[in-house]
């Protein structure tokens, strides 16, 4: 029995023909996973698969766009034919079309969302029933600080990346009873996509191979679910979507003015929580209103 932590697991990595995806594929293979290298370019995918095989890993290359449902169905079918299961999906494929919002075309906005968000949704949907049937699955969405916190010139990219957090949150809830755990990785890495975005000295420190170890924590047998892991330059941190305790303001005619006056109280992060599901906000709001009525 191998002591490699991912021995026997089958992983699909999209956008793995170069950059961060290539590092992900090689890293997962080094930890014992059988890795399916997916990329839009057939030659790029085959090249990375050859590197993995030369290092003693088990791999295959399957080309196709993540936005093409038929191509993704073929990706899943061929993976099942060869390996018999799919344990890990790393939704890594992506593109950039950076411009200020004033200069950005709706076509470029839609294209970025299509690749990042719809591509991840299509791939996740394609493996979902396989993972449910085997009662085991690990899905990683690739989010970004651009989505979590914003970056100039990346309205399309930021919107897509934050949308992936929302997708992760719900899929993690729905997949829990089937042993499917869904997480987000927010990488900072020097790749073709970041050339010209970061300073040269920063790019030198942000070798993409330093991001990929974060995957092990997100796809292993003891992986969490609904985690947002930020990784870059060998540094790892957690990001969370939190909710402050807030204050009851009421619904009087001057509620808006009262909210402005008490804005600092509403924004106070003391005692903030990480909701386990979205409806908790409504539950807490109703409870606050009921408490106020009981005091009247």
User: Which residues are tagged catalytic?
Assistant: 157
Spell out a b/e string for 190-227, using b for 16 or more CB atoms within 10 Å of the CB, else e. bbebbeebeeeeebeebebebbbebbebbbbeebebbb
* Spatial contact of 239 and 230, defined as CB atoms under 8 Å apart: yes
* Residue with token string 């411009």: 99
Task: Give the count of alpha carbons within 13 A of 60, CB side only.
Answer: 16
Q: Residue 127 and residue 129: Cα distance in Å, rounded?
A: 6
Single out the residue of 89, 18, 29 nearest to residue 54, CA to CA. Answer: 29
Task: Give the count of alpha carbons within 13 A of 274, CB side only.
Answer: 8
Long-range CB contacts (within 8 A, 24+) of 60-63: 60/36, 61/36, 61/37, 62/36, 62/37, 62/38, 63/38, 63/39
């Amino acid at each position: 029995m191998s002591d490699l932590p991912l021995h026997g697991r089958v992983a699909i990595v999209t956008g793995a023909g170069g950059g961060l995806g290539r590092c992900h594929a090689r890293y997962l293979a080094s930890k014992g996973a059988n890795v399916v290298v997916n990329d839009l370019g057939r030659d790029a995918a085959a090249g990375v698969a050859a590197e993995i095989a030369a290092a003693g890993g088990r791999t295959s290359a399957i080309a196709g766009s993540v936005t093409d449902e038929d191509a993704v169905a073929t990706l899943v079918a061929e993976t099942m034919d060869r390996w018999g299961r799919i344990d890990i999906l790393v939704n890594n494929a992506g593109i950039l079309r950076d411009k200020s919002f004033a200069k950005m075309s709706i076509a470029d906005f839609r294209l970025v969302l299509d690749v990042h968000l719809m591509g991840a949704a299509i791939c996740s949907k394609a493996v979902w029933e396989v993972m449910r049937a085997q009662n085991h699955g690990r899905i990683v969405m690739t989010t970004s600080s651009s989505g979590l916190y914003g970056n100039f010139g990346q309205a399309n990219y930021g919107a897509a990346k934050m949308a992936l957090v929302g997708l992760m949150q719900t899929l993690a809830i729905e997949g829990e009873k089937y042993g499917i755990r869904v997480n987000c990785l927010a990488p900072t890495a020097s790749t073709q996509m970041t050339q010209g975005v970061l300073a040269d000295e920063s790019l030198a420190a942000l070798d993409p191979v330093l991001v990929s170890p974060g995957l092990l924590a997100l796809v292993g047998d003891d992986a969490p679910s609904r985690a947002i892991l930020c990784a870059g330059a060998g540094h790892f941190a957690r990001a969370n979507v939190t909710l402050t305790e807030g204050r009851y303001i009421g619904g009087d005619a001057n509620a808006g003015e009262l909210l402005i006056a008490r804005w600092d109280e509403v924004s106070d992060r003391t005692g903030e929580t990480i909701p386990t599901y979205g409806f908790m906000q409504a539950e807490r709001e109703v409870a606050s209103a009921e408490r106020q009525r009981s005091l009247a």
